[in-house]
Protein backbone atom coordinates (compact mmCIF):
# COMPACT_ATOMS: atom_id res chain seq x y z
CA UNK A 1 0.00 0.00 0.00
CA UNK A 2 1.42 3.34 -0.99
CA UNK A 3 1.72 6.20 1.42
CA UNK A 4 -0.99 8.20 -0.25
CA UNK A 5 -3.56 5.46 0.10
CA UNK A 6 -2.73 5.02 3.73
CA UNK A 7 -3.27 8.70 4.31
CA UNK A 8 -6.62 8.59 2.53
CA UNK A 9 -7.86 5.84 4.76
CA UNK A 10 -6.69 7.60 7.87
CA UNK A 11 -8.48 10.73 6.76
CA UNK A 12 -11.63 8.78 6.02
CA UNK A 13 -11.73 7.14 9.39
CA UNK A 14 -11.16 10.43 11.15
CA UNK A 15 -14.13 11.74 9.23
CA UNK A 16 -16.15 8.77 10.37
CA UNK A 17 -15.48 9.66 13.99
CA UNK A 18 -16.57 13.21 13.49
CA UNK A 19 -19.69 12.34 11.63
CA UNK A 20 -20.73 9.36 13.68
CA UNK A 21 -20.79 5.82 12.32
CA UNK A 22 -20.46 5.49 8.55
CA UNK A 23 -20.87 2.60 6.21
CA UNK A 24 -17.10 2.21 6.12
CA UNK A 25 -17.00 1.93 9.87
CA UNK A 26 -19.59 -0.81 9.70
CA UNK A 27 -22.51 1.27 10.97
CA UNK A 28 -25.30 3.07 9.17
CA UNK A 29 -24.97 6.72 8.34
CA UNK A 30 -28.21 8.70 8.63
CA UNK A 31 -29.27 9.38 5.06
CA UNK A 32 -28.51 12.92 4.04
CA UNK A 33 -31.09 14.86 2.03
CA UNK A 34 -30.74 14.95 -1.75
CA UNK A 35 -30.41 18.29 -3.54
CA UNK A 36 -33.93 17.77 -4.80
CA UNK A 37 -35.27 17.42 -1.27
CA UNK A 38 -33.37 20.47 -0.10
CA UNK A 39 -34.65 22.51 -3.05
CA UNK A 40 -38.19 21.55 -2.15
CA UNK A 41 -37.80 22.92 1.37
CA UNK A 42 -36.01 26.09 0.25
CA UNK A 43 -38.65 26.62 -2.44
CA UNK A 44 -41.28 27.06 0.25
CA UNK A 45 -39.39 30.00 1.68
CA UNK A 46 -38.01 31.51 -1.53
CA UNK A 47 -40.51 32.04 -4.33
CA UNK A 48 -39.18 31.68 -7.90
CA UNK A 49 -35.37 31.90 -8.28
CA UNK A 50 -35.02 28.28 -9.39
CA UNK A 51 -31.41 28.68 -10.55
CA UNK A 52 -30.22 30.03 -7.23
CA UNK A 53 -32.21 27.48 -5.22
CA UNK A 54 -30.90 24.59 -7.29
CA UNK A 55 -27.26 25.70 -7.18
CA UNK A 56 -27.52 26.25 -3.45
CA UNK A 57 -29.21 22.89 -2.86
CA UNK A 58 -26.61 20.92 -4.78
CA UNK A 59 -23.77 22.66 -2.95
CA UNK A 60 -25.42 22.06 0.40
CA UNK A 61 -26.09 18.39 -0.29
CA UNK A 62 -22.45 17.89 -1.23
CA UNK A 63 -21.35 19.75 1.87
CA UNK A 64 -23.52 17.59 4.08
CA UNK A 65 -22.07 14.48 2.48
CA UNK A 66 -18.59 15.78 3.21
CA UNK A 67 -17.78 16.14 -0.50
CA UNK A 68 -15.94 19.17 -1.82
CA UNK A 69 -17.99 21.75 -3.65
CA UNK A 70 -17.32 25.04 -5.39
CA UNK A 71 -18.13 28.47 -4.01
CA UNK A 72 -21.16 30.38 -5.19
CA UNK A 73 -21.69 34.02 -6.10
CA UNK A 74 -25.30 35.21 -6.28
CA UNK A 75 -26.19 38.38 -8.13
CA UNK A 76 -29.68 39.83 -8.05
CA UNK A 77 -31.44 43.17 -7.67
CA UNK A 78 -32.40 44.37 -4.26
CA UNK A 79 -35.41 42.57 -2.79
CA UNK A 80 -35.29 39.49 -5.02
CA UNK A 81 -34.58 36.99 -2.24
CA UNK A 82 -30.80 36.74 -1.76
CA UNK A 83 -30.81 37.22 2.00
CA UNK A 84 -34.03 35.23 2.28
CA UNK A 85 -32.32 32.29 0.61
CA UNK A 86 -29.37 32.49 2.99
CA UNK A 87 -31.71 32.66 5.98
CA UNK A 88 -33.69 29.79 4.53
CA UNK A 89 -30.58 27.64 4.47
CA UNK A 90 -29.69 28.62 8.05
CA UNK A 91 -33.18 27.74 9.25
CA UNK A 92 -33.20 24.52 7.31
CA UNK A 93 -29.94 23.37 8.83
CA UNK A 94 -31.02 24.39 12.32
CA UNK A 95 -34.38 22.63 12.00
CA UNK A 96 -32.94 19.11 12.05
CA UNK A 97 -30.34 17.96 14.60
CA UNK A 98 -28.97 15.49 12.05
CA UNK A 99 -28.16 18.40 9.71
CA UNK A 100 -27.20 20.84 12.43
CA UNK A 101 -24.58 18.43 13.68
CA UNK A 102 -22.88 18.55 10.30
CA UNK A 103 -22.77 22.23 9.66
CA UNK A 104 -21.66 25.41 11.30
CA UNK A 105 -23.04 28.46 9.55
CA UNK A 106 -22.23 32.13 9.82
CA UNK A 107 -23.72 34.99 7.87
CA UNK A 108 -22.02 38.35 7.77
CA UNK A 109 -22.03 41.62 5.92
CA UNK A 110 -19.08 42.07 3.62
CA UNK A 111 -18.58 45.58 5.05
CA UNK A 112 -17.66 44.06 8.37
CA UNK A 113 -14.78 42.25 6.72
CA UNK A 114 -13.25 45.52 5.58
CA UNK A 115 -13.54 47.09 8.99
CA UNK A 116 -12.13 44.07 10.74
CA UNK A 117 -9.33 43.59 8.22
CA UNK A 118 -8.09 47.02 9.20
CA UNK A 119 -7.66 45.88 12.78
CA UNK A 120 -6.68 42.23 12.81
CA UNK A 121 -5.22 39.60 10.53
CA UNK A 122 -7.15 39.21 7.31
CA UNK A 123 -9.85 36.60 7.52
CA UNK A 124 -9.44 36.03 11.22
CA UNK A 125 -12.78 37.65 12.02
CA UNK A 126 -14.61 35.06 9.96
CA UNK A 127 -12.76 32.19 11.58
CA UNK A 128 -13.44 33.56 15.03
CA UNK A 129 -17.13 33.74 14.28
CA UNK A 130 -17.13 30.19 13.01
CA UNK A 131 -15.29 29.07 16.13
CA UNK A 132 -17.83 30.82 18.33
CA UNK A 133 -20.73 29.18 16.51
CA UNK A 134 -19.12 25.80 16.57
CA UNK A 135 -18.43 26.05 20.30
CA UNK A 136 -22.03 27.08 20.92
CA UNK A 137 -23.11 23.96 19.09
CA UNK A 138 -20.66 21.57 20.70
CA UNK A 139 -20.82 22.98 24.21
CA UNK A 140 -18.23 24.72 26.34
CA UNK A 141 -16.67 21.39 27.34
CA UNK A 142 -15.72 20.48 23.79
CA UNK A 143 -12.01 20.31 23.07
CA UNK A 144 -10.26 22.95 21.00
CA UNK A 145 -9.51 20.38 18.31
CA UNK A 146 -13.15 19.39 17.99
CA UNK A 147 -14.32 23.00 17.87
CA UNK A 148 -11.68 23.93 15.32
CA UNK A 149 -12.32 20.92 13.15
CA UNK A 150 -15.97 21.72 12.91
CA UNK A 151 -15.40 25.43 12.33
CA UNK A 152 -13.04 24.92 9.45
CA UNK A 153 -15.64 22.92 7.58
CA UNK A 154 -18.33 25.56 8.04
CA UNK A 155 -20.55 27.44 5.65
CA UNK A 156 -19.92 31.16 5.31
CA UNK A 157 -22.52 33.49 3.86
CA UNK A 158 -21.15 36.85 2.87
CA UNK A 159 -24.01 39.24 2.19
CA UNK A 160 -23.77 42.57 0.35
CA UNK A 161 -20.54 41.46 -1.28
CA UNK A 162 -20.90 44.20 -3.90
CA UNK A 163 -20.18 46.73 -1.14
CA UNK A 164 -16.56 45.61 -1.11
CA UNK A 165 -15.86 46.67 -4.68
CA UNK A 166 -12.33 47.95 -5.15
CA UNK A 167 -13.44 51.26 -6.56
CA UNK A 168 -16.49 53.42 -6.51
CA UNK A 169 -16.62 55.54 -9.62
CA UNK A 170 -13.05 56.61 -10.31
CA UNK A 171 -11.92 56.41 -6.71
CA UNK A 172 -10.30 53.41 -5.08
CA UNK A 173 -12.19 51.95 -2.16
CA UNK A 174 -9.53 50.93 0.32
CA UNK A 175 -11.87 49.15 2.72
CA UNK A 176 -13.24 47.14 -0.20
CA UNK A 177 -9.81 46.15 -1.45
CA UNK A 178 -8.83 45.01 2.04
CA UNK A 179 -12.03 43.06 2.48
CA UNK A 180 -11.59 41.24 -0.82
CA UNK A 181 -8.05 40.39 0.20
CA UNK A 182 -9.28 39.13 3.55
CA UNK A 183 -11.75 36.85 1.84
CA UNK A 184 -9.13 35.70 -0.62
CA UNK A 185 -6.88 34.67 2.21
CA UNK A 186 -9.62 32.52 3.59
CA UNK A 187 -10.91 30.87 0.46
CA UNK A 188 -9.01 27.70 -0.25
CA UNK A 189 -6.02 28.42 1.92
CA UNK A 190 -4.30 25.60 3.68
CA UNK A 191 -2.27 27.64 6.13
CA UNK A 192 -3.89 30.64 7.75
CA UNK A 193 -2.32 31.98 10.92
CA UNK A 194 -4.95 32.11 13.61
CA UNK A 195 -4.78 33.51 17.11
CA UNK A 196 -6.31 30.94 19.43
CA UNK A 197 -9.00 32.36 21.71
CA UNK A 198 -8.19 32.65 25.40
CA UNK A 199 -10.30 29.65 26.35
CA UNK A 200 -8.10 27.56 24.04
CA UNK A 201 -4.95 28.77 25.69
CA UNK A 202 -4.05 31.64 23.35
CA UNK A 203 -1.08 31.50 21.01
CA UNK A 204 -1.04 31.31 17.23
CA UNK A 205 -1.48 28.30 15.02
CA UNK A 206 -2.00 27.68 11.32
CA UNK A 207 -5.39 26.53 10.18
CA UNK A 208 -6.49 24.84 6.98
CA UNK A 209 -9.58 26.66 5.73
CA UNK A 210 -9.91 24.80 2.45
CA UNK A 211 -12.98 22.98 3.77
CA UNK A 212 -15.04 26.16 4.10
CA UNK A 213 -17.87 26.79 1.68
CA UNK A 214 -18.44 30.41 0.70
CA UNK A 215 -21.69 31.74 -0.65
CA UNK A 216 -21.52 35.44 -1.47
CA UNK A 217 -24.40 37.62 -2.61
CA UNK A 218 -24.89 41.16 -3.76
CA UNK A 219 -27.19 43.42 -5.75
CA UNK A 220 -24.38 44.88 -7.88
CA UNK A 221 -26.47 47.91 -8.60
CA UNK A 222 -25.52 49.47 -11.92
CA UNK A 223 -24.14 46.21 -13.32
CA UNK A 224 -27.21 45.67 -15.49
CA UNK A 225 -26.86 49.10 -17.09
CA UNK A 226 -23.10 48.74 -17.49
CA UNK A 227 -23.43 45.44 -19.36
CA UNK A 228 -26.32 46.74 -21.44
CA UNK A 229 -24.20 49.74 -22.42
CA UNK A 230 -21.23 47.55 -23.27
CA UNK A 231 -23.20 45.49 -25.78
CA UNK A 232 -25.20 48.35 -27.27
CA UNK A 233 -23.16 51.54 -27.32
CA UNK A 234 -19.88 50.61 -25.62
CA UNK A 235 -16.88 48.44 -26.37
CA UNK A 236 -18.95 45.66 -27.92
CA UNK A 237 -21.28 47.98 -29.72
CA UNK A 238 -23.64 46.09 -31.99
CA UNK A 239 -23.24 42.78 -30.16
CA UNK A 240 -26.85 42.94 -29.06
CA UNK A 241 -28.94 42.96 -32.22
CA UNK A 242 -32.47 44.23 -32.34
CA UNK A 243 -35.06 41.61 -33.13
CA UNK A 244 -38.17 42.16 -35.16
CA UNK A 245 -41.34 41.82 -33.16
CA UNK A 246 -44.78 41.56 -34.70
CA UNK A 247 -47.52 42.52 -32.32
CA UNK A 248 -51.12 43.33 -33.13
CA UNK A 249 -50.30 43.76 -36.80
CA UNK A 250 -47.51 46.22 -35.94
CA UNK A 251 -43.90 45.46 -36.78
CA UNK A 252 -41.19 46.96 -34.63
CA UNK A 253 -37.54 46.48 -33.68
CA UNK A 254 -36.81 45.57 -30.09
CA UNK A 255 -33.65 45.00 -28.04
CA UNK A 256 -34.13 41.91 -25.89
CA UNK A 257 -31.46 42.04 -23.25
CA UNK A 258 -30.88 39.59 -20.46
CA UNK A 259 -28.01 40.00 -18.05
CA UNK A 260 -27.75 36.22 -17.76
CA UNK A 261 -26.89 35.97 -21.43
CA UNK A 262 -24.38 38.82 -21.62
CA UNK A 263 -22.65 38.98 -18.27
CA UNK A 264 -18.93 38.21 -18.54
CA UNK A 265 -16.28 38.05 -15.88
CA UNK A 266 -14.75 41.25 -17.24
CA UNK A 267 -17.95 43.11 -16.33
CA UNK A 268 -17.47 42.07 -12.73
CA UNK A 269 -13.77 43.08 -12.84
CA UNK A 270 -14.81 46.47 -14.06
CA UNK A 271 -17.40 46.66 -11.33
CA UNK A 272 -14.53 46.31 -8.89
CA UNK A 273 -14.24 42.64 -8.01
CA UNK A 274 -10.68 41.46 -8.43
CA UNK A 275 -9.93 38.68 -10.92
CA UNK A 276 -8.32 36.58 -8.16
CA UNK A 277 -11.41 36.97 -6.02
CA UNK A 278 -13.79 36.06 -8.82
CA UNK A 279 -11.76 33.08 -9.91
CA UNK A 280 -12.59 31.43 -6.59
CA UNK A 281 -16.24 31.05 -7.56
CA UNK A 282 -17.33 28.03 -9.57
CA UNK A 283 -20.86 29.26 -9.99
CA UNK A 284 -22.24 32.71 -10.61
CA UNK A 285 -26.03 32.62 -10.40
CA UNK A 286 -28.39 35.43 -11.23
CA UNK A 287 -31.62 36.02 -9.38
CA UNK A 288 -34.40 37.22 -11.62
CA UNK A 289 -36.53 40.27 -11.05
CA UNK A 290 -39.82 39.08 -9.59
CA UNK A 291 -42.97 38.85 -11.68
CA UNK A 292 -46.40 40.03 -10.52
CA UNK A 293 -47.41 36.40 -9.94
CA UNK A 294 -44.36 35.81 -7.77
CA UNK A 295 -45.02 38.99 -5.83
CA UNK A 296 -48.57 37.82 -5.22
CA UNK A 297 -47.25 34.57 -3.78
CA UNK A 298 -44.70 36.36 -1.61
CA UNK A 299 -47.37 38.69 -0.30
CA UNK A 300 -49.67 35.81 0.59
CA UNK A 301 -47.18 33.16 1.70
CA UNK A 302 -44.15 34.85 3.17
CA UNK A 303 -44.04 34.61 6.97
CA UNK A 304 -42.58 38.12 7.20
CA UNK A 305 -45.06 39.65 4.76
CA UNK A 306 -46.82 42.81 5.91
CA UNK A 307 -50.11 40.98 5.36
CA UNK A 308 -49.40 38.40 8.06
CA UNK A 309 -48.42 41.09 10.55
CA UNK A 310 -51.53 43.05 9.84
CA UNK A 311 -53.78 40.00 10.14
CA UNK A 312 -52.30 39.33 13.56
CA UNK A 313 -52.88 42.90 14.58
CA UNK A 314 -56.56 42.89 13.56
CA UNK A 315 -57.00 39.57 15.31
CA UNK A 316 -56.10 41.25 18.60
CA UNK A 317 -59.26 43.35 18.08
CA UNK A 318 -61.22 40.18 17.31
CA UNK A 319 -61.43 41.16 13.66
CA UNK A 320 -60.50 39.30 10.53
CA UNK A 321 -58.65 40.92 7.65
CA UNK A 322 -59.61 39.56 4.23
CA UNK A 323 -58.27 40.65 0.84
CA UNK A 324 -59.89 39.59 -2.39
CA UNK A 325 -57.58 37.97 -4.96
CA UNK A 326 -58.03 41.04 -7.16
CA UNK A 327 -57.03 43.30 -4.28
CA UNK A 328 -53.86 41.30 -3.73
CA UNK A 329 -53.04 41.53 -7.41
CA UNK A 330 -53.58 45.28 -7.36
CA UNK A 331 -51.06 45.59 -4.53
CA UNK A 332 -48.52 43.39 -6.32
CA UNK A 333 -48.96 45.34 -9.54
CA UNK A 334 -48.42 48.62 -7.73
CA UNK A 335 -45.26 47.11 -6.19
CA UNK A 336 -43.78 46.39 -9.64
CA UNK A 337 -43.82 50.13 -10.25
CA UNK A 338 -40.86 50.36 -7.87
CA UNK A 339 -38.55 47.74 -9.39
CA UNK A 340 -35.57 48.92 -7.38
CA UNK A 341 -37.18 47.66 -4.19
CA UNK A 342 -38.15 44.21 -5.44
CA UNK A 343 -40.46 42.45 -3.00
CA UNK A 344 -39.73 45.12 -0.38
CA UNK A 345 -42.08 47.36 -2.36
CA UNK A 346 -44.95 45.09 -1.28
CA UNK A 347 -44.54 46.22 2.29
CA UNK A 348 -44.38 49.86 1.33
CA UNK A 349 -47.49 49.65 -0.84
CA UNK A 350 -49.41 47.64 1.73
CA UNK A 351 -48.56 50.15 4.48
CA UNK A 352 -50.04 52.92 2.37
CA UNK A 353 -53.22 50.86 1.97
CA UNK A 354 -53.76 49.54 5.46
CA UNK A 355 -52.62 52.40 7.66
CA UNK A 356 -56.01 54.15 7.74
CA UNK A 357 -57.73 51.03 9.08
CA UNK A 358 -54.99 50.12 11.50
CA UNK A 359 -55.21 53.53 13.15
CA UNK A 360 -58.37 52.65 15.02
CA UNK A 361 -59.71 49.19 14.17
CA UNK A 362 -62.57 49.37 16.66
CA UNK A 363 -63.95 52.38 14.79
CA UNK A 364 -62.80 51.75 11.24
CA UNK A 365 -64.03 48.14 11.08
CA UNK A 366 -67.58 48.04 12.41
CA UNK A 367 -68.24 44.33 11.69
CA UNK A 368 -66.25 41.19 12.41
CA UNK A 369 -64.19 41.43 9.23
CA UNK A 370 -62.42 44.01 7.14
CA UNK A 371 -62.83 42.95 3.53
CA UNK A 372 -60.71 44.80 1.01
CA UNK A 373 -61.39 44.66 -2.70
CA UNK A 374 -59.81 46.52 -5.61
CA UNK A 375 -62.04 49.49 -4.97
CA UNK A 376 -60.60 50.07 -1.49
CA UNK A 377 -57.05 49.47 -2.71
CA UNK A 378 -57.35 51.92 -5.57
CA UNK A 379 -58.92 54.49 -3.32
CA UNK A 380 -56.21 54.09 -0.71
CA UNK A 381 -53.44 54.32 -3.27
CA UNK A 382 -54.73 57.40 -4.99
CA UNK A 383 -55.47 59.41 -1.86
Ligand X SMILES: Nc1ncnc2c1ncn2[C@@H]1O[C@H](COP(=O)(O)OP(=O)(O)O)[C@@H](O)[C@H]1O
Contacting positions for ligand X (CB under 6 A): 46-49, 76, 78-84, 298, 302, 304, 342-344
Residue 113 interacts with which of ligand X, Mg ion, none, CB < 5 to 8 Å by class: none
Stretch that binds Mg ion, among 63-71, 75-83, 93-101, 318-326 (CB under 5 A): 75-83
Binding partner at 308 among Mg ion, ligand X, none, C-beta below 5 to 8 Å by kind: none
Q: Closest CB to ligand X among 230 and 347?
A: 347
**Minimum gap (Å) between residue 303 Cβ and ligand X:** 8
Q: Which is nearer to Mg ion, 109 or 352 (CB)?
A: 109
Runs of H (alpha helix) within the chain: 3-19, 35-45, 50-65, 82-95, 97-100, 110-119, 124-138, 144-151, 174-186, 223-232, 259-262, 265-271, 275-278, 292-301, 306-315, 325-335, 344-358, 361-364, 374-382
Of the pair 82, 152, the CB lying nearest Mg ion is at 82
Q: Which does 310 bind (CB under 5 to 8 A by kind): Mg ion, ligand X, none?
A: none
Given the rule CB under 5 A, which of 81-89, 162-170, 223-231, 357-365 is the region that contacts Mg ion? 81-89
Sole window of 77-85, 114-122, 263-271, 304-312 interacting with Mg ion (rule: CB under 5 A): 77-85
Q: Which is nearer to ligand X, 46 or 64 (CB)?
A: 46
Shortest Cβ 374–ligand X spacing (Å):
23
83 vs 338, which CB is nearer to Mg ion? 83
Please return the burial class of 142, using the count of CB atoms within 10 Å of its CB with bins 0-12, 13-18 and 19+.
middle
Phi-psi region of 66 (alpha: psi -120 to 50; beta: other; left: phi over 0): left
Burial 44-83 (b: 16+ CB within 10 A, else e): ebbbbbebbbbbbbbbbbbbbebeeeebbbbbbbbbbbbb
161 and 110 in contact (C-beta within 8 Å)?
yes
Contact yes or no for 222/229 (Cβ under 8 A):
no
DSSP state of 383: -
111 touches Mg ion (CB under 5 A): no
Q: Which residue is nearest to ligand X (CB)?
A: 81
**Would you say 159 or 181 has its CB closer to Mg ion?**
159
In the set 22, 83, 324, 374, which binds Mg ion (CB under 5 A)?
83
Strands (E), 222-290: 243-247, 250-254, 281-287
The option from Mg ion, ligand X, none interacting with 122 (CB < 5 to 8 A, set by class) reads none
Distance CA(1)–CA(151), nearest Å, equals 32
- The least distance separating Mg ion from the CB of residue 185, rounded to whole angstroms, comes to 24
Residue closer to ligand X (CB basis): 46 or 353: 46
Q: How many CA atoms lie within 13 A of 161 on its CB side?
A: 29
Q: Is 323 helix (H, G, I), strand (E, B) or coil?
A: strand
Q: In angstroms, give the least distance from the CB of 159 to ligand X.
A: 7
Report the residue number, 78 or 338, with the smaller CB distance to ligand X.
78
**Distance in angstroms (rounded) separating the CA atoms of residues 266 and 270:** 6
Question: Cα–Cα distance between 76 and 204 in angstroms, integer?
Answer: 39
Shortest distance, position 352 Cβ to Mg ion, whole Å: 23
Return residues touching Mg ion (CB under 5 A): 82-83
Amino acid sequence: MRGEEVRDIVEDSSRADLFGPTQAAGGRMPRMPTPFEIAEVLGKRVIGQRDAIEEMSVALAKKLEGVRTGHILMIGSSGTGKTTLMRGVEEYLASDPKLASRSTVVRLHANVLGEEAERGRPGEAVLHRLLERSREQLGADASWDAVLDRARRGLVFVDEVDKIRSRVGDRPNVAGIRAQEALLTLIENEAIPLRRPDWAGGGVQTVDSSGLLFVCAGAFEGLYDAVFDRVTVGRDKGALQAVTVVEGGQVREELQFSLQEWLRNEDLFEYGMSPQFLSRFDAVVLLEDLTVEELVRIFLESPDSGLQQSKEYFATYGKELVLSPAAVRAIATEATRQPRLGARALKEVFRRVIRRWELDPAQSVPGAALVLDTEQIEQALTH
